[in-house]
Chain A
Amino acid sequence: MSAAPDHTPTMAALGLAEKLGRAMPLLLVPLLILIGIPAVGNTSSWLTLTVSGLAMGMMIFIMASGLTLVFGLMDVINFGHGAFISVGAFVGISTLAALGSWSGAPSLVLNLAAVLAAAIAAMAVTGALGWGFERVIVKPVYGAHLKQILVTVGGLIVIEQLIAVIWGPEEIFLTRPESLKGAITFAGAALEKYRLLAVGVGLVLFVAMRLVFRRTKIGLIVRAGVENGEMVEALGYRLRRVFIGTFIAGSALAGLGGVMWGLYEEVITAGMGEEMMILVFIVVIIGGLGSVEGAFIGALLVGLLQNYVAYVEPKAALVSNIGLMTAILMWRPQGMMPVVKAK
């Protein structure tokens, strides 16, 4: 028994305002969807736009999740991330073309199998490419942001040119597998089948990631590493290996995002990844560097807002996301759910 006086601690309950403040980022998505109803003014169009926005958001999230973790874990700014999106799209679409009899058949199972095969091929190639990229390009510039920007932009350009060498400089148009063409009608709104699939895939991936981060030791190591890598190493974990694993997984997810985006737009170009990177960076920044949850919410906001604004005021669509970023950074300069503390 120590001589210390009895110490019976309690944790003060949070006040309503504080609770609301914490939950605010989570509420923003439903809030934006609700605001969309009067803004769009027409329920069936609103429903179509909402599904479209969610689908777009999910795809951006898939591309952004790896980038935010790579930054959080090792403080690495990887502009080359866009290259994995493009490569994933080209590998995936080529696989789909090679499986033309599957994707052209009027069978949902065969169609989905073709898309799955395309996704796996894209992820395998971009994962391997990510591994090489990390070793050759990123590893020598740890801790030097300016060099990271220069050298990863260089890597991006080289990979884009290699795509042009292998697949030719022209854009490639494609058609989705038979069962994913067209739309279903729900409550008077036309909902494209492919967009519904994209929403489903995004949700499954997000839930799976959350489970990994909450329930597995490797997930704990990643979360702790984003916050304080030095301490994670002092507990006996090799952060570098975890980082390489995260880099590979993040690259593979970018590849998956690339295939999905290619099927969404029905056209792929070598520069598509680079174009997507603008949205991906916005999402990573407003979500809070290193935060997968933040990137998820940020991506949905970006997707929804872009779709609503493009319908209501097409000319404003181009600036809507920059506007969103400005507003969120004025409200929370560190992003909505910052994990990376000042180092």
Chain B
Amino acid sequence: MSEPLLRLEGVETDIGRYHILHGVDLTVPTGAVTMLLGRNGVGKTTTLRSIMGHWPTKAGRIVLDWQDIAAWPTPDRARAGIGYVPENMGIFTDLTVEENMVLAAASGPLDPARLETIFEAFPPLRTFWRNEAGNLSGGQKQMLSIARAMAERRRLYLIDEPTKGLAPAIVATMASALKRLKADGATILMVEQNFAVAKALGDHAAVMDDGRVAWTGSMAELAGDADLQQRLMGLSMEVP
């Protein structure tokens, strides 16, 4: 295994009065896709939001390339090279698709070659380039959300449920775009409930339970062990 790009050590996060993360230990290796799995409400999204700085952490370290970023403000973490696709997609609906993308390239103008790659992966974004993002369909909004994360070269992508609530055809588009991103050597930490997608994309897996990481290993190992899945995630479905 190569050097980890991101390491969480004993991260604890409270939301209001609720203690959500009880000491998360997690390693995200460079140039690989790490799947963050688990039942609903075990703290997957909170983990991503804590890494991004949207929830302040109470204890623990978040180490990005040897730097502890746990106390950094969100914009500094983004500037350190983290691209974030939130669970609710975070689209600016009053702005056009173009304006959303221009904002996503925070360090300068959009790179045309990079944009071309994005258009190839998500053709509707070219079609609706000058339309208000609020008029896009759910799938198109998700495309835009991922495209925004891809607008600049990032060191780490945090992607929260990119296939949630999407039609199967769009899920396939999403998966192939993410595969391409992976083939480019991107480091990705992704929350995904669709086990087929997780299996197809993931190199490593970390399964959370009750605010902690309960199991880590390779995605292949998890995918090949139905008992383990049942025990960790209560998955009963047959994986095709």
A: residues with CB less than 8 A from B are: 2-5, 7, 9, 11, 217, 220-221, 223-224, 227-228, 230-239, 339
Contacts and interface: CB of A to CB of B under 8 A. Distances in A.
Given A3-B172, A234-B86, A237-B106, A9 B75 contact: no
A10 B50 CA distance: 38
B135 A234 contact: no
Mostly, the B contact residues are helix
Interface stretch (B11-19, B38-46, B96-104, B208-216): B96-104
A238 B92 contact: no
Contact of A227 (B94, B172, B176): B94
Nearest to A10: B127
Nearest to B107: A236
A284 B103 CA distance: 27
B54 interface: yes
Interface residues of B, number: 37
Which of B54, B86, B92, B104 has most chain A Cβ within 10 Å? Answer: B92
A237 B172 CA distance: 32
A223 B95 CA distance: 8
B44 to A, nearest CB: 17
B169 A237 contact: no
Contacts of A227: 92-95
Given A220-B102, A234-B54, 17 more contacts: A2-B175, A4-B170, A9-B128, A9-B137, A224-B99, A227-B94, A230-B54, A231-B86, A233-B74, A233-B75, A233-B78, A235-B104, A236-B78, A236-B106, A236-B107, A238-B75, A339-B94
Given A223-B92, A230-B90, A231-B92, A9 B103 contact: no
Contacts of B172: 2-4
B124 interface: yes
Interface in B88-121: 90, 92-95, 99-100, 102-104, 106-107
A230 to B, nearest CB: 6
Interface of B: 52-54, 73-75, 78-79, 84, 86, 90, 92-95, 99-100, 102-104, 106-107, 123-124, 127-128, 131, 135, 137, 140, 148, 169-170, 172-173, 175-176
Given A9-B137, A9-B140, A11-B135, A238 B94 contact: no
20 contacts: A2-B173, A3-B172, A4-B169, A4-B172, A7-B123, A9-B140, A220-B95, A220-B102, A223-B92, A224-B92, A224-B103, A227-B95, A231-B92, A233-B75, A234-B54, A234-B74, A234-B90, A236-B79, A237-B103, A238-B73
Given A224-B92, A233-B73, A238-B75, A9 B124 contact: yes
A233 to B, nearest CB: 4
A7 B121 CA distance: 12
A234 B94 CA distance: 18
Contacts of B170: 4, 7
Contacts of B73: 233, 238
Given A230-B54, A234-B86, A7 B95 contact: no
B191 to A, nearest CB: 15
A220 B103 CA distance: 7
Q: Which 8 A-B pairs have the closest CB atoms?
A: A236-B78, A231-B90, A236-B106, A2-B176, A4-B172, A233-B74, A224-B92, A236-B79
A233 B175 CA distance: 27
A235 B169 contact: no
B103 A217 contact: yes
A2 B169 CA distance: 10
Contacts of B74: 230, 233-234
B150 to A, nearest CB: 13
Contacts of A3: 172, 176
Contacts of A223: 92, 94-95, 99
Contacts of A11: 128, 131, 135
Contacts of A339: 94
Contacts of B175: 2
Contacts of B102: 217, 220
A237 B75 contact: yes
A227 B54 CA distance: 16
A251 B104 CA distance: 29
A4 B172 CA distance: 6
B176 A4 contact: yes
A236 to B, nearest CB: 4
Nearest to B127: A9
A120 B140 CA distance: 47
Contacts of B123: 7
Nearest to B167: A7
A238 B77 CA distance: 11
Nearest to A241: B75
